[in-house]
């Protein structure tokens, strides 16, 4: 049965049409003001809203940095269209680029500011490195795979950072030359926690690291002013194994 209201000419009166037009126009105007014209910028904004903020990460400095650093510039060309999707992506030399949320969460756990010196184990293509460089005073980033070391170091986007030190070397040994570090972030999973990294963590420092083989757990390790360390389980993760 057809509704009688639909048959009446007054159902869509001129006044109601004007109201509807005004509402749609305002919605479109607001959308145009909020959403960037550039496709990658728009996808990055949606990534932040749907993957990062929706999961409880709302630190303004971190959110601003996640928007500033274009993830698609660190992703291999075959996967650029997937740069802002909610997943880890294949990288070079059998490695991966972490899921955006994991990058954000691990960074958040470090509580960085412009007075802190960071050691990153596993440069990869440099996306996490750029995030760290925006938030910390100084970043020492180590990569054991020569191809990845060269790719990250030669990325044109990285030229703006004068506070990144690229090191080709074994992350299991840390980087004693610049130790101790206020923060350490490890982006590959060792089967057990490397004690030398704990030793290179400064008093009051924080380290975030995935640990495990078949089953991996992300840990936050904190060292107090008396050199006592505590470990907190964050959540299960899947990272590539840490190379020696």
Do the domain assignments include residue 199? yes
| pLDDT score, position 161 | 98
Do the domain assignments include residue 9? no
Q: Give the residues across from 119 on adjacent strands.
A: 140, 184
Contact 118, 182 (CB under 8 A): yes
Residues 64 and 70: their CA atoms lie apart, in Å, by 12
Place of tokens 């969460």: 105
Q: Does 98 qualify as catalytic in the annotation?
A: yes
Active-site residue identified among 25, 93, 98, 111: 98
Confidence (pTM): 0.85
Do the domain assignments include residue 57? yes
| Nearest CA among 177, 170, 69 for reference residue 129 | 69
Do the domain assignments include residue 15? no
| pLDDT score, position 16 | 56
Q: What is the pLDDT along the chain (244 residues), one digit of tens a residue?
A: 444 343 444 445 665 555 555 554 444 444 444 566 789 999 999 999 999 999 999 999 999 999 999 999 999 999 999 999 999 999 999 999 999 999 999 999 999 999 999 999 999 999 999 999 999 999 999 999 999 999 999 999 999 999 999 999 999 999 999 999 999 999 999 999 999 999 999 999 999 999 999 999 999 999 999 999 999 999 999 999 999 8
Query: How many domains, in total, are found in the chain?
Result: 1
Do the domain assignments include residue 243? no
Give how far Cα 233 sits from Cα of 2, 25, 32, 109, Å. Answer: 60, 49, 42, 12
| pLDDT score, position 31 | 41
Domain that holds residue 132: 39-237
Q: Give the residues across from 201 on adjacent strands.
A: 181
CATH number at residue 69: 3.40.50.150
Residues 24 and 202: their CA atoms lie apart, in Å, by 56
Do the domain assignments include residue 13? no
Residues 37 and 85: their CA atoms lie apart, in Å, by 19
Q: Output DSSP code: residue 200.
A: T
Do the domain assignments include residue 25? no
| pLDDT score, position 244 | 86
Q: What tokens were used for 168?
A: 């080709």
Place of tokens 């299991």: 172
């Amino acid at each position: 049965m057809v509704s009688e209201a639909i048959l009446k000419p007054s159902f869509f009166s001129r006044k109601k049409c004007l109201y509807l037009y005004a509402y749609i126009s305002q919605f479109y105007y607001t959308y145009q003001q909020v959403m960037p014209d550039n496709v990658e910028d728009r996808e990055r904004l949606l990534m932040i809203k749907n993957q990062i903020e929706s999961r409880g990460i709302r630190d303004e400095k971190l959110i601003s940095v996640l928007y500033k650093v274009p993830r698609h510039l660190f992703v291999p060309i075959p996967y650029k269209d997937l740069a802002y999707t909610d997943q880890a992506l294949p990288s070079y030399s059998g490695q991966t680029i972490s899921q955006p949320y994991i990058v954000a969460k691990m960074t958040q756990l470090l509580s960085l500011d412009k007075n802190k010196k960071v050691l990153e184990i596993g440069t990869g293509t440099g996306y996490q490195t750029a995030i760290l460089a925006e938030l910390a005073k100084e970043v020492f980033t180590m990569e054991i795979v020569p191809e990845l070391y060269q790719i990250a170091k030669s990325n044109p986007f990285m030229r703006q950072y004068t506070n990144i030190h690229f090191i080709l070397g074994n992350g299991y040994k840390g980087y004693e030359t610049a130790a101790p570090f206020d923060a350490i972030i490890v982006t590959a999973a060792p089967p057990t926690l490397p004690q030398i990294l704990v030793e290179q963590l400064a008093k009051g420092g924080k380290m975030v690291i995935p640990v495990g083989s078949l089953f991996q757990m992300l840990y936050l390790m904190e060292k107090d002013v008396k050199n006592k360390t505590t470990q907190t389980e964050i959540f299960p993760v899947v990272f590539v194994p840490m190379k020696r």
